[in-house]
Structure 1
Amino acid sequence: MSETIVMPKLGMTMTEGTITEWYKEVGDTVEKGEPVLMISSEKLNQDVEATSSGILIEKFGNVEDELKVGDALAFIGEEGEKPSSADKKDTDAVSVDVTEYEKPASPADMPTQQGVTKHQRSNRIFITPLARRIAADNDIDIQSVTGSGGKGRITKRDIEHILESGTHIQTGSQQELAAQQSAATATVSVGEGLSPMRKAIARNMRDSLSQTAQLTLHRKANAEQLIDFQQTLRDKLSASNSEMKLSVTVLLARAVVLALQELKSMNATYHDGQLKEFDEVHLGIATSLDDGLLVPVIKNAHQKTIGALANEMKDVTERARNGEADPSLLSGSTFTITNLGASGIEYFTPILNPTETGILGVGTLQEELVLAEDGTVKTIKKIPLSITFDHQIVDGAKAAEFLSVLVKYIESPYLLVL
């Protein structure tokens, strides 16, 4: 049974993926369920498995090629079988029929003994989807491009070379030329030279900043009661021989969930021109890795007790750091928390997780001297909070109100269990 393996969609915002590694070569036998290649998206690496057994007849992309979701990656069939035009649709060797525009062949374009000439010698041009998109964005005539890839295929590097040289621009002043070259370079240079994960993070963060009006508000909360409450719960857990680890971050997560249920305008996503507020809280927990960042999601966090949150936060962050996170674990968040307290950071300006309305940054505990009611000076601990929000959707007053509600739960922590 023949099969066309296509680029899967690993998350709500994924539009394209990068081929990271091929495990099989053309002619190799492939068993059902066996990994054929590895791809990477903005969030993770993922093996793509065969859903049927057969022979790998054709590969439609090379390592580092970027293909759109749904594009064909490989064709598996019986020995001697060839993929049909339907099987090849939207592959990384997209065919563009240019018969009507073909110029008469010059002697330099006549076939050689090796069957290779300087220009395309058929009525089709082979070009990768990414190269095709960049060429279209910059009004580059692909008929004039000489491909350096296999079988004369035009690659991203071929288009980048033309953009860098400026030869695709025929008219305009020198200032216009410089501006267009600068814009073209910016288009293709985001994340260039980085690992697939860092490249995807670079693109997501640039997209986040370019598509939203981000503003960050800062405020401190008195953490004395929260710390006392944490110690009380720890003592109770220890007395019952429980091994649960109850951190301040867990209590903050519970406080955030309750605050979001009071102010649903902060528990919202804005995507494809549609704003949606949620009753459910799906809480993203920013988790640092050696080579990047992942945001595993606690689904339906509003339905979980403090203990359940503690256990699930430990589970999802460990899975993310161990490379065991699947796409379902890394998608669907409605709000995100990122904590840099362990790094000694006080305040910072976190960048929105794309499509979300808000993200909370948590800093390190700080000691401050305050004047008590009896006139004495005492030391208290405060926790710095930074809320970044999309000013297109939420005004500063509403974001400030969210911080006030959050501070209420932090400074009156027994409300967390009601």
Structure 2
Amino acid sequence: MPIPVIMPKMEMAQETATIVEWLKQEGEHVEKGEPLLAIETDKVSVDVESPATGTLAGVRAKAGDVVPVTETIAYILQPGESLPLAEKTAEAEAEARPPEAFTEGERAEGQKPSPPATSPAPSEPLSTAATPVAQRLAEAYGLDLGSIVGTGHGGRITKADVEAALAAQGGQSPSEAAGKVRATPAARRLARERNVALTAISGSGPHGRIQAADVLAYTAAAQPMQTAAPVPEAQVIPLTGMRRTIAERMTLSYQTAPHITLTMRAAMDAFEVLRAELNHEAEATEGPHVSATALLVKAVAWALRRHPWLNSRLQGEEIHLLSEVNVGVAVALDEGLIVPVVRHADEKGIAAIAAEVHDLATRARQGQLTPADVTEGTFTISNLGPLGVEQFTAIINPPQTAILAVGAIQREPAVDEEGHIVVRRMAHLTLCADHRVVDGAVAARFLVDLRRILEKPSLLLW
């Protein structure tokens, strides 16, 4: 029996995956467990292995295609087996379909649709004879003289003809109108050229007389916005893969989660002293280097355990306070942003967290993260301090409730408890939280505790 090759579901929220390349060709012999193709989700790139030993056949998607999860993309056949009947029937129907049955997107190359029937070009407008008074009335009321039948000598259009045409259209005749339309000759000429009824324009001149500027302003307001000037040539990059997913998730977050933003400044002197001591010890014992981000993960996990509302998730009509503290760390890549997760960060020591953060960041940049590395995060840290960014706000990583943006640690003058001016290392901490779940006071208390632990990190040992 043919064994289907299924597009795997690597993550809970995953709906599709993109085929990067086929590592085996149709008709080629493959062994069970041998990589068949490489795929990419919004977070990871992985190889899909063959579910059986046999011949690869019935490939239904090519490199670059976005395929829904659990969909069959090929089959593995044993000697003497053939594709399922439904597959062969679909192929036969596609081959037998006449050219005219194809849609525009399926039309075979070289086949062009018949050109549409052309209609004769409109004839040039005939000159229309009208009395000067009739012309002025028609211009004033926006009537086309070509549509009026003249009753004057030789078919000439008279004032009475214009009045009758206006009455037939449901408008007022000049004799019924309240007052005469006052306009300068230049305004009348512009109105005629632009086919504008003077009665629709409010005059700005003496006694409400319509000026040329009034006609220009009216037509400018009535015309749709002109097409923007063509832009210079640019490199066009399709919004696909990781970049597309980031765009979709960030848009979803910003449109559905009302963000509340709070900022505090923390003195980071003790934080930096502790980090230097830990790294000195790491050098002596060949332990892991402790980055600022690694120490931040430990501090944030400590604060989250004391403020569970920041470690929560809104699901439908329920708020789930999560039992695990899994802190995600935003890592910048050339193609986008990825957030590997330090699981159970509140239960791990600083050395273990430092080693894990380094390993996750390295594998993220090498494209070697697994789905388990990037799922089940409960809170995210984005640290742009190493790039010199002093302060910024971040967008919540759904379905989480909050994200912390950390700025650069900088030396600044400050006033100590005794009133002396001293130099301290300061950093901005900006918390963005989902206001549907967290109120301002709750978020503020979290920041207060986080600042306290950063300014006195020895409390982590308590």
TM-score, normalising length: structure 1: 0.73
Structure 2 matches for 1:274-353, cutoff 5 A? Answer: 274-353=318-397
CA distance in 2, matches of 1:149, 1:17: 27
Give 1:370's aligned amino acid: A
Aligned twin of 1:217: 262
Indicate conservation of the 8 Å contact 2:411/2:425, yes or no.
yes
Deviation, 1:396, is: 1.8
Indicate conservation of the 8 Å contact 2:33/2:52, yes or no.
yes
Bigger strand share: 1
How many residue pairs were aligned? 334
Deviation, 1:274, is: 4.6
Aligned twin of 1:116: 98
Aligned twin of 1:108: none
CA distance in 2, matches of 1:274, 1:77: 48
Aligned twin of 1:193: 238
Give 1:405's aligned amino acid: D
Give 1:221's aligned amino acid: A
CA distance in 1, matches of 2:107, 2:354: 51
CA distance in 1, matches of 2:394, 2:85: 47
SS for the counterpart of 1:233 is helix
Say what the alpha-carbon RMSD is for the aligned residues. 2.8
- Are 1:248 and 2:292 counterparts? yes
Instruction: Tell me: CA distance 1:58–1:269, structure 2 relative to 1, closer, same or farther (3 Å).
Output: same
Indicate conservation of the 8 Å contact 1:118/1:146, yes or no.
no
Larger radius of gyration: 2
Deviation, 1:373, is: 4.2
Instruction: Tell me: CA distance 1:149–1:303, structure 2 relative to 1, closer, same or farther (3 Å).
Output: farther
- Superposed CA deviations along residues 72-121 of structure 1, whole A, max 9, x for unmatched, are 11111125534437889xxxx99xxxxxxxxxxxxxxxx9x97532225x
Deviation, 1:259, is: 0.5
Aligned twin of 1:207: 252
- Are 1:30 and 2:15 counterparts? no
Aligned twin of 1:172: none
SS for the counterpart of 2:332 is strand
Instruction: Tell me: CA distance 1:303–1:402, structure 2 relative to 1, closer, same or farther (3 Å).
Output: same
Deviation, 1:337, is: 0.9
Aligned twin of 1:64: 64
Indicate conservation of the 8 Å contact 1:42/1:204, yes or no.
no
Identity of aligned residues (%): 35
Give 1:119's aligned amino acid: A
CA distance in 2, matches of 1:321, 1:146: 42
Structure 2 matches for 1:16-415, cutoff 5 A? Answer: 16-79=16-79, 81-84=81-84, 116-119=98-101, 146-148=104-106, 193-238=238-283, 240-271=284-315, 274-415=318-459
Deviation, 1:68, is: 1.6
TM-score, normalising length: structure 2: 0.67
CA distance in 1, matches of 2:346, 2:437: 23
- Superposed CA deviations along residues 238-290 of structure 1, whole A, max 9, x for unmatched, are 4x433331222222111100100001111112345553211221111111122
Aligned twin of 2:119: none
Instruction: Tell me: CA distance 1:395–1:373, structure 2 relative to 1, closer, same or farther (3 Å).
Output: closer
Instruction: Tell me: CA distance 1:332–1:52, structure 2 relative to 1, closer, same or farther (3 Å).
Output: same
